[in-house]
Amino acid sequence: MAATAIITDRFVQTAQVMARVSGMAEYPFAVIAHPIANNSQTVLRDKAHQALRQCVEQLVQG
């Protein structure tokens, strides 16, 4: 089953290490700008759209 994850740019390195030690070095991630907390509804909506586009692209290609 195809899957992806959504993370913020602050955690890219951590996510890559976790994927590698889990035996899934090529696991795809949708990356959005950090932080999420205290964002306005408009900013959160924009980040959600960015994540959605990345997820769809990764899942369709995978």
Predicted confidence (pLDDT) at residue 37 exceeds the cutoff of 90: yes
Q: Could you report the per-residue pLDDT of 24-33, keeping only the tens digit for each? A: 999 999 999 9
pLDDT band at 55 (very low <50, low <70, confident <90, very high): very high
| Amino acid at the residue 28 | P
pLDDT band at 44 (very low <50, low <70, confident <90, very high): very high
Mean pLDDT of 45-54: 98
Neighbours of 51 (CB within 10 A): 19
The pTM assigned to this predicted structure is 0.88
Q: The dihedral of CA 11, 13, 17, 20: what is its sign?
A: positive
